[in-house]
Amino acid sequence: MERVSSPIGALSADVAESLRGAARPAGAWLGAAWDANALHVHARSRTTDTSVVELPAIGRVVRKRWSWPRVGERLRGVGRTTALARCPAARELAALGAAPDAGFHPRPVAWAEWRERGLLVRCMLVLQEIAGARDLASWLRDERSPRLRRQVL
């Protein structure tokens, strides 16, 4: 069973408008977003990656993917991520929606989750890319001013 969702229908309204008449339905578009090759990787771990990808009819976006490919990983995450809690993409989407719009956080484009037998297998959040933005980990690595670091953190 596959469940694909986003903030507004299958995609945000402006993205849905840009895709009007496209050959791909929303679910196929989100599958293509999952599979797109990364132009730049911001962060990667065993279960997560955040990267910039280029999508047809939309352009450059930031894609955050979470994946639990093995059954054991899904079972270990039952209380935190894969069954009893909302998926990380939906939680992050809600946090972005609750944050005051100060103009420095990315706008959500879409989110999706894929489940098997009720357990979360993978999920994804697609965000608008902010031109010239740097990920926090890189900024912290490069910024030496204690005053600026305290202000941000």
Residue 139 has a pLDDT of: 78
Residue 17 has a pLDDT of: 56
| CB atoms closer than 10 angstroms to residue 152 | 9
Residue 46 has a pLDDT of: 86
- Residues 92, 106, 141, 90, Cα dihedral to 10°: 10
Between the alpha carbon of residue 47 and those of residues 54, 57, 67, the distances in Å are: 22, 28, 5
Supply the pTM of this predicted model.
Answer: 0.74
pLDDT digits (tens), the chain, 153 positions: 344 444 333 455 555 555 554 444 456 777 788 889 999 898 898 889 999 999 877 889 999 999 888 878 777 777 777 777 788 888 888 888 777 665 667 888 888 888 887 778 888 999 988 887 777 777 788 877 888 877 777
Residue 18 has a pLDDT of: 52
Between the alpha carbon of residue 68 and those of residues 102, 112, 122, 152, the distances in Å are: 34, 14, 6, 32
Give the angle subtended at the CA of 142 by the CAs of 98 and 47, to the nearest 5°.
55
* β-strand pairing of 59-67 with 48-55: antiparallel
Q: How far apart are CA 91 and CA 80, in angstroms?
A: 12
